[in-house]
Copies of this chain bind each other. A is one copy, B any other.
Amino acid sequence: MNKREFKDKVYTELAKVAKAMANPVRLEIIDLLAQGPFSVEQIAHYTGQSVANASQHLQTLKNAKLVQVTRNGNFINYSLAGENVFNAWIGLRELGFAYNAEVEKVIHDFRNGHNSDMNAVDAETLAEMIENDEVVLLDVRPEDEYNRGHIHKAISTPIDKLETYLKKLSKRKMLVAYCRGPFCVYADEAVAMLKDKGYNAVRLNEGFPEWALLNGYPVDSKFS
């Protein structure tokens, strides 16, 4: 094997990994699987795809070793192959944020539409607020995602049942809602609704996996 053949092989192999990430549906799947394992049907549902199409994309991700498979009864569950997959996804996401004005613009426009653009708090600030007991932290993801792991001291208030929790929340305390990540809109919806009802609410600008894996802040988890 000469120099050129060697380089061709190495970069071709790495390009295969990049190709597996080079599709919007698959990126959304990766972002979703950062929460934990999901069945094909769940993945199809959350990403708005047909089951066959979701399955096809999952095969692509599996072949590139980005996801792994476990069986649970009738269901096949997919999850990220490891922390490096999340890291690569974050690297890509940060790159998109930094140099592609289009990405920021879309987010900005969307949040403006929800009157929540200025209502985001970063992880560091939130950590301080928790420390000082200044905040009630709301995990607005579906309950089973909360059960797998959540930010320490957060309470589960899934977005579609949030209204039933309202009476337990104080209008004097600051409420911080978080969900799956910066592109997850449950938190935006929660903030919009809470403010509408007269509560003090902001969202965390990222989500659970960033809190846990990037920042290493405390979590409550089944596994710890």
> Which A residues are closer than 8 A to B by beta carbons?
1, 3-4, 6-19, 21-28, 31, 48, 64-66, 81-82, 84-85, 87-96, 98-100, 102-103, 106-107, 109-110, 113, 183, 185
Contact = CB atoms under 8 A, between A and B. Distances in A.
11 contacts: A1-B110, A11-B183, A13-B103, A14-B24, A14-B93, A17-B96, A18-B27, A82-B98, A84-B99, A88-B92, A90-B91
Interface centre among A3, A10, A93 (most CB of B within 10 A): A10
Contact of A21 (B10, B22, B84): B22
Majority secondary structure, A binding face: helix
A93 B28 CA distance: 21
Contact of A22 (B18, B107, B110): B18
Given A65-B99, A102-B13, A92 B7 contact: no
Given A22-B18, A113-B1, A13 B96 contact: yes
A131 B15 CA distance: 38
B82 A99 contact: yes
Contacts of A106: 6, 9-10, 13
Given A84-B91, A90-B91, 17 more contacts: A6-B185, A11-B31, A11-B183, A13-B103, A14-B27, A15-B21, A15-B26, A18-B18, A18-B21, A18-B27, A18-B92, A82-B98, A84-B98, A85-B99, A87-B95, A88-B92, A88-B94
A109 B9 CA distance: 12
Given A12-B24, A92-B91, A81 B99 contact: yes
